[in-house]
Structure 1
Amino acid sequence: MELLGPARDTEEAVRVGDRALSREELLRRASTVAGEIGGASAVAVHATASLETVVAVVGGILAGVPVVPLPPDSGPAERDHILGDSGAQLMLAAKGAYEGEGGPALVPVDELGTADRSPERADDAATALILYTSGTTGAPKGVLISRRAIAAGLDALAGAWEWTAGDTLVHGLPLFHVHGLVLGVLGALRTGSPLVHTVRPRPDAYAAAARERGGSLFFGVPTVWSRVCDDPGSARALQGARLLVSGSAPLPVPVFEKLAGLTGHRPVERYGMTETLITISARAGGDRRPGHVGLPLNGVETRLAAEDGAPVPHDGETPGELYVRAPMIFDGYLGRPEATAESLAADGWFRTGDIAAIGPDGWHRIVGRASTDLIKSGGYRIGAGEVENALLSHPAVREAAVIGTPHADLGEQVTAYVVAEGVTDKQLIDFVAERLSAHKRPRVVHLVESLPRNAMGKVVKTRLGA
């Protein structure tokens, strides 16, 4: 299976910041890397936003060697865990970029020169990437992603988003996650569309890529799109784009509506996980609904289950845990058969741990994580996302995160952490009570200066109140 698809005839296949490579030059450099690492059991890549990262990852694909992207901001404990757990034998990085002590032997990607392209030697079932989870419930787990899964996932997205070699993809997302690396680099290479990586996802950089590079397809996380909305000039520069895509976290409804008003584009939302890649999405040629992530991609099945395993009706309101079965699902957790068995059944159904509601027409709405976003209060099941969207619709509120906290009578109470100016906690409680059922209003609102977020802009709810 060829993970690198045909490309249109352009001078630049990949641009990162002010540096660029043609497709031929990229493949020559990657071929040299492939020759250097051939036979290794796994290689780590110091995944900075750089051409060296792209060359290293493509080199691993050409060599058929599993690639382990290492976040460049990893602390010593996380770094040592990922390198030790994965068994990476080499570290690929630009000369002088990696400063970790010990570990695998360093291969300076930018000093290897170029060579003719070598053939892809791995079969479809071979592991292409070992991606590590965020580790919010323990040490990060290595997720085994096969070449077949990546190809299936990218082809399904290309169909849903009408993504072709005629597009120019623009994003500035980290290159060690599914969003920035699998979709944002391998997706561009498989579809043949040129990639413009802005190093950082700044609104002015996105606007410049639209004006100067012909950007037509833009990827961002909700934080990026919120910042674009706060910069109307940059937002209006995206009016000539074909598609704006949001993922990695729920896009607040007010941001969806403001982005649509400024750019003329109703953004496409999609849903996925490290273990599943992208499985649900709105379509380029179809409806796009605020607060919803769309329909299953081709080849994807979904279902909802209650806590006792019973089926949950698809009425658009009743929440249940989301299960998915699809050709882009991972092969298991590296060296963790028990964890694999707990989440991935023998018949292929994967337990996502996310709470969702599915409408009669098949549209999916993600409520949140079962562990943090499903609040059980006074016999009611309350989705944190619905309360967050209500808070965000207040003009004084910039950010909001809702969790359940212990309550002697209710079991759990709805507790909100809000970044806002010129409004009191009581006013926000009353504001939500006017828009949602009374039992969904926050019992407590904490006004804070900021919310804790990870590298992808997701709020880390386990750190709220810390």
Structure 2
Amino acid sequence: MSSLFPALAGSPGERVALRFGDRTLTYRDLASAAGATAARIREAGRVAVWATPAPETAVAVVGALLAGVPAVPLNPKSGEKELGHIVSDSAPTTVLAAAGDDLPAALAGLARLDVDIDGALGHGGGSAPEDRAADGDPALVVYTSGTTGPPKGAVLSRRAVAVTLDALADAWQWTGADVLVHALPLFHVHGLVLGVLGPLRRGGSVRHLGRFTTEGVARELGDGATMLFGVPTMYHRIAEALPGDPELARALAGARLLVSGSAALPVHDHERIAAATGRRVIERYGMTETLMNTSVRADGEPRAGTVGVPLPGVELRLVEDDGTPVASYDGESVGEIQVRGPNLFTEYLNRPDATAAAFTADGWFRTGDMAVRDPDGYVRIVGRRATDLIKSGGYKIGAGEIENALLEHPGVREAAVTGEPDADLGERIVAWIVPADPQAPPSARELADHVAGRLAPHKRPRVVRLLDSLPRNDMGKIMKRALTQG
């Protein structure tokens, strides 16, 4: 395989590679800083990266990849127990951080290496070292959220990273001329692999906002940026701000591509953004273990509520509970998504049991996500098997479509749907609602009739519970276990 970052080889130019606030690195700067980091860790074995939203994080990860050393991104917001588990499990020899970062006690046993960007640049420019690592070598160990136990480390190969980014380049017509804006954390696939390594592999630029604001989005898209990556929470805030912010509307209208991921973007927000800007947000579907599986293509139909079609090289099928493939592309038949392809992770670190359980006998990865396929092959995710598939009255119902219907009600600000045991139905549908007006929330009957009129009577919520807010994680995903266990 050729280098992961062709633009760093040979004589890197003066095109901007990274911009974090007022700190900018050209490709020549990045080659020098990442090359200097690579030289210092080449024999390190495995390194942890204190993944703050700063250029040092990008330099550290690129330096590790140039050195052929697997990197373990660490979430700076993780608690001591979780960090301790990740360090013990992944056994890095060194932690890379910015010079001023205050590291927690859980990392005290590791050698510390400060990423010195200014020092590297002070010694003059230069090209990065030649990338000699093999395709199958590990590039990253990214830890999952650990909703059913301690986080597991998904080992992602260099091949998986490269083929995913190249498949997205095909789907999104992504080139070195593109300038990406985002404000995503850098310890997971969306923010780090797609949001930083993606532009660098193309030879383009990334501008990281540090902290998401609609003002920052408007400023950067209005100043030559062409793409925006975000999660549904960010796009919801954009949709809320658009009616009173013509500058934001103009900036979004001028973007080449608006991409949402990590969770489903409600159809209501899709429509509000499209109405205000004339631009459609497209969605893609992936996870830590698989990187990216599907996407709406830049030259395809930007259909709200879908995650598009399988990316080049990715095989995707839906299966019944007994493993029988779902043959119907009818937009109604629900099955679990299983995928196969070079984008998949290699293993769960130190967990051969979990690795084996994650795959079928014929090599398909069990995602745990439930979906339907439209007649033209578009995939619509209806929820997670563990929390979003509700079996009620003999029907298999996906929580996602009910949530979208509820969000179309003017009295609903936020919505989540779960199931709970019911002696008659097996499970009854429960709607968790944050009302638009807490003093005058919609009634349970009103919401049930609203859903039944849009979907089908058996999909109406039988119980409505009002909340001040929905519990969410760092990526803006609703934590349904916190609802049902609370």
Aligned equivalent of 1:74, options 75, 78, 89: 78
Does 2:454 match 1:444?
no
Is 1:155 the counterpart of 2:166 in the alignment? yes
TM superposition shift of 1:69: 0.3
Give the alignment of 1:200-215 within 5 angstroms: 200-212=211-223, 214-215=224-225
Alignment: residue pair count? 465
1:5–1:190 contact (8 Å) kept in structure 2: yes
Report the alpha carbon displacement of residue 39 of structure 1 after superposing the two structures with TM.
1.5
1:48-84 per-position Cα deviation (integer Å, ceiling 9, x unaligned): 0001101100110011000000001010011111111
In the alignment, residue 428 of structure 2 is paired with which amino acid? Answer: Q
| Equivalent residue number for residue 173 of structure 1 | 184
Whole-angstrom distance in 2 between the partners of 1:118 and 1:309: 47
1:428 to 442, 447, 452: 447
Residue in structure 1 matched with residue 129 of structure 2 by the alignment: 118
Contact kept, 8 Å, 1:354 with 1:370, in 2: the verdict is yes
Deviation at 1:11, TM superposition (A): 4.2
User: Is 2:282–2:304's contact at 8 Å kept on the other side of the alignment?
Assistant: no
Q: Distance in 1 between matches of 2:249 and 2:368?
A: 35
How many Å separate the matches in 2 of 1:87 and 1:344? 26
Q: How far has the Cα of 1:319 moved from its partner?
A: 0.3
Determine the C-alpha separation between the residues in 1 that align with 2:344 and 2:427.
Answer: 34
The Cα of 1:237 is off from its aligned counterpart by 2.0
Contact kept, 8 Å, 1:219 with 1:245, in 2: the verdict is yes
CA distance in 2, matches of 1:340, 1:168: 37
Aligned position for 1:404: 419
Taking the aligned partners of 2:293 and 2:195, their CA distance within structure 1 comes to 16
CA contact (8 A) 2:199 2:205 kept: yes
Query: Is 1:244 equivalent to 2:258 in the alignment?
Result: yes
- The answer to whether the Cα contact below 8 Å between 2:411 and 2:442 also exists between their aligned partners in 1 is no
Counterpart of 2:156, as a letter, is I
Q: Does 1:361 align with 2:376?
A: yes
Instruction: Tell me the amino acid that sits aligned with residue 392 of structure 2.
Output: S
Once residues 233 and 318 of structure 2 are traced to their aligned partners in structure 1, the CA distance between those partners, rounded to angstroms, is: 29
SS at match of 2:149: coil
Distance (Å, rounded) in 2 between the aligned partners of 1:84 and 1:425: 50
Which of residues 130, 140, 144 in structure 1 aligns to 2:151? 140
CA separation of 1:412 and 1:108: change in aligned 2, threshold 3 A:
same
Match of 2:479 among 456, 460, 466: 460
Task: Check if 1:21 corresponds to 2:25.
Answer: yes
The yes-or-no answer on 1:262 pairing with 2:263 is no
2:450 corresponds to which letter in structure 1?
A: F
Compared CA separation, residues 69 and 209, structure 1 to 2 (3 A)? same
Is contact 2:13-2:28 (8 Å) kept? no
Q: Give 1:21 deviation, angstroms.
A: 0.7
CA contact (8 A) 1:201 1:220 kept: no
What is the CA distance between 1:409 and its match in structure 2? Answer: 1.8
Say whether the 8 Å CA contact 2:249–2:277 is kept in structure 1: yes
Which segments of 5 or more consecutive residues in structure 2 lack a partner in the other structure? none
Q: Indicate the residue corresponding to 2:50 in structure 1.
A: 46
Q: CA deviation at 1:346?
A: 5.6
Partner of 1:231, secondary structure, is: helix
Which amino acid in 1 is paired with 2:231? V
TM-score normalised to structure 2 length: 0.93
> How far apart, in 2, do the equivalents of 1:330 and 1:176 lie?
16
Instruction: Give, in angstroms, the shift of residue 111 of structure 1.
Output: 6.9
In the superposition, the TM-score normalised over structure 1's length comes to: 0.97
Q: Give secondary structure in 2 for the equivalent of 1:382.
A: strand
Q: Which of 107, 112, 131 lines up with 1:106 in the alignment?
A: 112
SS of structure 2 residue aligned to 1:338: helix
Gaps of 5+ in 1: none
Aligned residues of 1:83 and 1:103 also touching (Cα < 8 A): no
Question: CA RMSD, aligned part only?
Answer: 1.5
2:295 corresponds in structure 1 to: 281
Tell me if the contact between 1:425 and 1:446 (Cα under 8 Å) persists in the aligned partners: no
**C-alpha distance after superposition, 1:262-298 (max 9, x if no partner):** 2211111110010111110001011011111100011
Kept after mapping to 2: 8 A contact 1:13/1:23: yes
